[in-house]
Structure 1
């Protein structure tokens, strides 16, 4: 089993998991989302514990659809969504499989947090293409996480974490920012890059036709 910093996250009596990274990054991510007048549907890919849905959805005007590839995460996501009217029941979704966007209506927003470095490049390329394909005409994708710049980690902590991931599976690890931006551009999206706490980035991708 892959060893990640959030392994062994605290679990509350009601079944909600409390991953440390999600607790740290929820407020900064929400602050970015609140800059935009988000309405309609928001698909969260790789919801994990469900903490983001439970924390952010009540503070946004969106219909929040959590999803995850791991059936073992459904209970925690459901627990976090309990009593939050804006959060739909979690969807079992492997977002690295081609064609999944056809199973869903067009999305006004997509949120992806801390996944790209945990999957191979080929899977990441499929995911990014599918995210672009699932967006409604005025939709935006918010992609948060750590990235390489010009092939290099930009902090000792990032270099160590990237090395630990590649030691566990040589196919995974941090993706280069330029590579991700090229894939998004090839899918018809223009992307704004925001610096975030702990040396992470938020990529805000939207169609070229938007002002």
Structure 2
């Protein structure tokens, strides 16, 4: 079996790292949901040696991720674990959670379950860093995102570019608030959700 490889993961790893690295300075253990090929995990764990980067995905993806992890031989990159938002969740503890390009693949109900699971895992103040394309009030960031959304829905009617209005509703139910909304290359965004502490206001003001 050859290592799986996504050109897009190779292209976006540097801009994603530039955003997440300064926000993970005090985190010591992170869960990645939907590690895909494992490319991101190797790149990020190499750059963030203070942080144990725990890959996870549905069982059928673990062998490919394992090839990247085994080859990297990083002390802070343990073997990948199974995570299905519909059933199996790890116990933790985790200081932070990261996920890239998963929300538009999952069904809307599964996205809600992902937020609920993250809310259970994170400690007060913990961050959920979510990367991908998003829209607001049904309005897309670009024509390319309109076309991408249409392609996703033709392929699988349950998938599609997710609306921030829905995500904020799921987050609120999970005890999370939107702390930052960061524009990224190629009409993507990194959404930084924070687990509310006791006494926090229900919503966070997004950055512009």
Distance 1:38 1:21, change over 3 A: farther
1:135, distance to aligned residue in structure 2 (A):
0.7
1:28, distance to aligned residue in structure 2 (A):
1.1
User: Matched residues in 2 for 1:109 and 1:15: separation?
Assistant: 30
Q: Deviations over 1:112-148 (max 9, x none)?
A: 1001111111111111111111112332110011112
Does residue 146 (structure 1) correspond to residue 136 (structure 2)? The answer is no
User: Paired residue for 1:198?
Assistant: 186
Q: Deviations over 1:72-120 (max 9, x none)?
A: x2232122212111111111110233xx44x412210101100111111
User: Matched residues in 1 for 2:197 and 2:22: separation?
Assistant: 20
Alignment of 1:50-65 (within 5 A): 50-60=38-48, 61-65=50-54
User: Matched residues in 2 for 1:75 and 1:104: separation?
Assistant: 22
CA contact (8 A) 2:54 2:77 kept: yes
1:165, distance to aligned residue in structure 2 (A):
1.0
2:63 corresponds, among 75, 95, 120, to: 75
1:49 corresponds, among 13, 37, 43, to: 37
Q: Aligned to 1:116, what secondary structure does the other structure show?
A: coil
User: Paired residue for 1:132?
Assistant: 119
User: Matched residues in 2 for 1:76 and 1:27: separation?
Assistant: 22
User: Paired residue for 1:84?
Assistant: 74
Q: Aligned to 2:27, what secondary structure does the other structure show?
A: coil
TM-score, normalisation: structure 1: 0.85
Q: Aligned to 2:139, what secondary structure does the other structure show?
A: coil
Structure 2: gaps (5+ residues): 201-208
2:104 corresponds, among 80, 95, 117, to: 117
Does residue 33 (structure 1) correspond to residue 31 (structure 2)? The answer is no
1:172, distance to aligned residue in structure 2 (A):
1.3
| Corresponding pairs, count | 194
2:156 corresponds, among 169, 172, 176, to: 169
